[in-house]
């Protein structure tokens, strides 16, 4: 069988609800590699909080982070890194506009620098992986460089109104996605970026055609990637919109959905 490129989202997909890779899925991915297939990660996380899984899998491929805003090769410095940021003036416009909504927090990330509008222990727990530099206070005063992403955490029920505003006012300069439950968070990155854009760059570099890409995901930040892949797979725990466009729906992230599909598709047993 010709080699396939297997692209894996992390949260809700490769990772169980306990944020680990199950033994069954890990062993199946190793079997796939032994059979000549290529594994990569495509995630909304920054690299610092996905590096441990990259190393655990022993990958030697580029990785898509920040939903396509940052694509690099951790072990090959000759690979041309892609880092597309939000223009600072656009970011400030968005931050200003968010003052009209009921918010819990706004977070800006500049690679491994994290800026929080308000102190929040729960958010700090999430962003502390990889020991980033953290600055707290009014982002309109503390943020002086183009951010990689913005995260807007609204009060309960505010995510949809926030997204409607972003779509109405800023659609030509930003993309926005919603985090899965339990977080009512809207993530903002530069316009024209998504996981599929990063995945296509990696596939071109490796020399794998679109029809031999298998991509797995569960949330709305996976929509473009699942649609782009020759075999787009929605997890059983995925959102209905993703399932409706996927080529296949597998079992959930807690039921080794990745392993089940790969064993069948790639004839690994």
CA 251 to chain centre: 20
Residue 180 pLDDT > 70, yes or no? no
**DSSP letter, residue 7:** E
pLDDT of res. 182: 60
Residue 154 pLDDT > 90, yes or no? no
* pLDDT per residue as tens digits for the range 16-29: 999 999 999 999 99
114 backbone dihedrals φ, ψ, rounded to 5°: -120, 130
Stretch (H or E) spanning 177: strand 174-178
Residue 31 pLDDT > 80, yes or no? yes
Give residue 127's pLDDT band: very low, low, confident or very high (50, 70, 90): confident
| Catalytic residue ranges | 9
* pLDDT per residue as tens digits for the range 72-96: 999 998 999 999 999 999 999 999 9
Once rounded to an integer, what is the mean pLDDT over residues 126-136? Answer: 80
126 backbone dihedrals φ, ψ, rounded to 5°: -70, -45
pTM score, two decimals? 0.93
pLDDT of res. 138: 93
Upper half-sphere CA count for residue 112 (Cβ side, 13 Å): 10
Q: 3-state class of 141 per DSSP? A: helix
| Listed residue (152, 144, 198) closest to 178, CA to CA | 152
Between 107-116, 178-187, 202-211, the lowest mean confidence (pLDDT) is in: 178-187
Once rounded to an integer, what is the mean pLDDT over residues 207-212? Answer: 97
Residues 239 and 219 sit within 8 Å (Cβ to Cβ): yes
**DSSP letter, residue 207:** T
Q: Per mean pLDDT, which of 96-105, 113-122, 219-228 is the most reliable?
A: 219-228
Q: How far apart are CA 266 and CA 253, in angstroms?
A: 19
At a CB cut-off of 8 Å and minimum separation 6, what does 8 contact? 14, 39, 40, 41, 42, 215, 216, 258
Which domains, ranges and CATH numbers included, belong to the chain? 5-82+193-265 (3.40.50.1000), 88-190 (3.30.1240.10)
Structure tokens at 62: 């580029």
Once rounded to an integer, what is the mean pLDDT over residues 233-254? Answer: 97
Residue 252 pLDDT > 90, yes or no? yes
123 backbone dihedrals φ, ψ, rounded to 5°: -65, -40
């Amino acid at each position: 069988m010709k080699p396939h490129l297997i692209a894996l989202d992390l949260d809700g997909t490769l990772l169980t609800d306990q944020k680990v890779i199950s033994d069954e899925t890990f062993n199946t991915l190793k079997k796939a590699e032994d059979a000549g297939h290529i594994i990569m990660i495509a995630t909304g996380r920054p690299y610092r909080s996905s590096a441990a899984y990259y190393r655990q899998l022993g990958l030697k491929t580029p990785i898509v982070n920040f939903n396509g805003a940052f694509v690099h090769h951790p072990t090959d410095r000759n690979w041309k890194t892609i880092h597309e940021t939000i223009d600072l003036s656009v970011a400030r416009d968005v931050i200003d506009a968010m003052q009209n909504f009921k918010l819990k927090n706004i977070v800006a990330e500049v690679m491994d620098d994290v800026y929080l509008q308000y102190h929040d222990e729960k958010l700090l727990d999430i962003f502390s992986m990889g020991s980033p530099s953290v600055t707290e206070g009014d982002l309109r005063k503390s943020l002086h460089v183009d951010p990689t992403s913005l995260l807007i955490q609204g009060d309960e029920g505010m995510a949809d109104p926030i997204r409607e505003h972003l779509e109405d006012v800023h659609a030509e300069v930003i993309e926005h996605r919603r985090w899965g439950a339990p977080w009512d968070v809207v993530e903002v990155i530069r316009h024209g970026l998504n996981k599929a854009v990063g995945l296509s760059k990696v596939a071109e570099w490796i020399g794998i055609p679109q029809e031999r890409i298998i991509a797995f995901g569960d949330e709305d930040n996976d929509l473009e990637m699942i649609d782009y892949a020759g075999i787009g797979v929605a997890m059983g725990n995925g959102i209905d919109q993703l399932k409706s466009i996927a080529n296949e729906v597998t079992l959930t992230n807690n039921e080794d959905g990745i392993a089940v599909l790969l064993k069948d598709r790639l004839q690994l047993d």
